Amino acid sequence: MSDYVIITDSTCDLPYSFVQEHGIVIQPLEYTDGTQTYEDGPSTDLKQFYSNMRNGIQYTTNATNPEAIGKNYRKILDQGKDILHIGFSSGLSCSFNNEHITADEMSQEYPDRRIIVIDSLAASMGQGLLVYYACKMKENGATIDEVADWLNENILHACHQFTVDDLKYLMRGGRVSKVSWLLGTLINIKPVLHVDDEGHLIPLAKVRGRKKSLTSLVDNMEQTMGSLRDKNEVILISHCDCYEDAKFVGDLITERFGFTNIVYNYINTVIGSHSGPGTVALFFLGDKR
């Protein structure tokens, strides 16, 4: 049985301690403030990043860099190891396409090695959730093909529920119109979104008020878990510098369903640039997205 390494993009939002413990290789995306470009990664001060956004700094983002992908791949392949890359949703970034092309090129250079690139069709800790289970399988002795098969069979069971606190960031990204932003802000509308089966972030509902929007994440969870409720080893919640709101969601989940293994972490710069401070996102396994 060949040895292999799990790679994922920095958009997975898993705690860095988990990444280190399980030997995951992170492929960074990039973000820029218009004057300088930075790598998304554990060295970023995310609290300061979201403070900058609140103070009016607008960030843009870049996909994974093909040259950097090849460099990461070569380090692993030169060690005689195979690669399982669980990538950021192709519905949200061209990163997966860059990784897929690089994998094809590197496979010709290293014909005796395996490079499998999986489109997670997921974002943030939805991507992280798939990585979490892949790592558990690998450490329990699963082969690269067994893990890849499980991922392909379960990608659409990785459920995402998001809500944002300020519509202006979605408006800037073209996800809501300026009229919807103005009207929504006026009457305190908070959108609830999810990632669909094609990996796109789409509106799910509109509710009035922050507390109702947070509660709706858990309501939607109840509706979508279905037969996979007992398969959830962990619940993941990410946020854009609003831990108290994320904890409110987590406490409600514990109260309603009894889940206690809940992991919280910041949303990365790349996704946060588009969703904005105050975003809360919930991830779990369910019958449908």
pLDDT in tens, 60-113: 999 999 999 999 999 999 999 999 999 999 999 999 999 999 999 999 999 999
Distance CA 134, CA 7 (A): 11
Residues of the chain with CATH 3.30.1180.10: 157-285
pLDDT in tens, 264-289: 999 999 999 999 999 999 999 999 99
pLDDT at 179 over 50: no
Q: What is the pTM of this model?
A: 0.94
pLDDT in tens, 199-225: 998 888 889 999 999 999 999 999 999
CATH 3.30.70.580 is right for the domain spanning 157-285: no
pLDDT at 196 over 60: yes
pLDDT at 186 over 60: no
Confidence of residue 257 (pLDDT cuts 50, 70, 90): very high
Please give the class, per CATH, of domain 4-156: alpha beta
| Mean pLDDT, residues 246-261 | 98
Residues of the chain with CATH 3.40.50.10170: 4-156
pLDDT in tens, 136-151: 999 999 999 999 999 9
